[in-house]
Amino acid sequence: HVSACVPPSVPRLLIVYPWTQRFFSSFGNLSSPTAIIGNPKVRAHGKKVLTSFGDAIKNLDNIKTTYSKLSELHCDKLHVDPENFRLLGDILVIVLASHFGGDFTPACQFAWQKLVGVVAHALAHKYH
Amino acid sequence: MVLSGNDKTNVKGLFAKIGGQADDYGAETLERMFVTYPQTKTYFAHFDMAKGSAQIKGHGKKVAAALVEAVNHIDDIAGALSKLSDLHAQKLRVDPVNFKLLGQCFLVVVATRNPAALTPEVHASLDKFLCAVGNVLTAKYR
């Protein structure tokens, strides 16, 4: 069920913080929330993010190494401001909250905000 | 950043759904903020931080009331929160970064209690509204 929350976070990021669309100009139609949610390239990207997030969770003691190449890619090729990783993390937390309701206790939220913070930090780690 | 007509409708609609539970939302927002972002407790060293504390409930009520006031005067948030803005600038001086943390926690409370209502569009409008409130409260800092 957690994995169900990751893919919808990507379209939600593009809708809530529209300036993040700047990285996806090749994705085609992003002209409205409906277009963004239905866009197959956005969906595919959501799946990529999910797979990568899964890798992070499997390698919690070793995140910086796990994300080393991905970090270089986001810096050197994709030129993504690391602030965007924090934005995506915040959105993911909110999607998790919608999904789990009262089970998403304050302690749970604390743990997840820390996790997304660690992931964002690891993705930014190789920036130069 | 400007609130569009749609944003205002979305925010008013959401707060109408929250209705009389606003005080609870306020208290839970603070509780989550203190747990998730422990550094925010530094502004409340004099508070009893136990779950359900009267002080947290009381302060949650104040926060909720201010948000409701802003919604009710959504065309002039700066006017509606002017005194609160003075208070934050002259006395409280809460670092601006913390308003985003409070906003995030309020969004989480809305998400846990009203998942269906927090569509991406409403989420965007509410996030904009909370930013606008934070901006007003820090506008006179310098």
pLDDT in tens, A52-83: 999 999 999 999 999 999 999 999 999 898 99
Question: Hey, where are the domains in chain B?
Answer: 5-138
* High-pLDDT (> 90) share of chain B, %: 95
List the single best residue of B36, B56, B102 to mutate versus A (max A Cβ within 10 A). Answer: B36
Between chain A and chain B, the number of residue pairs with CB atoms below 8 A apart is 57
User: Does the pLDDT of residue A30 top 90, yes or no?
Assistant: yes
DSSP state, residue B82: H
pLDDT, residue A87, reads: 95
Give contacts of A90 with chain B, Cβ < 8 Å. 104
| Mean pLDDT over each residue of chain A, to the nearest integer | 93
pLDDT, residue B1, reads: 76
- What is d(CA B64, CA A1) in angstroms, rounded to the nearest whole number? 32
The average pLDDT across A75-99 equals 94
- What is d(CA A12, CA B134) in angstroms, rounded to the nearest whole number? 22
User: Does the pLDDT of residue A7 top 90, yes or no?
Assistant: no
pLDDT, residue B100, reads: 97
User: Does the pLDDT of residue A1 top 90, yes or no?
Assistant: no
The average pLDDT across B97-105 equals 96
The average pLDDT across B8-36 equals 97
Asked whether the ipTM of the predicted complex exceeds the cut of 0.90, the reply is no
Position B3: which residue type?
A: L
CATH topology of domain A9-124: Globin-like (1.10.490)
DSSP state, residue B93: -
**Contact flag B108-A109 (C-beta cutoff 8 Å):** yes
- What is d(CA A78, CA A15) in angstroms, rounded to the nearest whole number? 20
The average pLDDT across A28-36 equals 95
CATH superfamily of B5-138: Globins (1.10.490.10)
pTM metric for this prediction: 0.91
Q: What are the angstrom distances between the C-alpha of B8 and each of A13, A15, B29, B141?
A: 20, 17, 22, 26
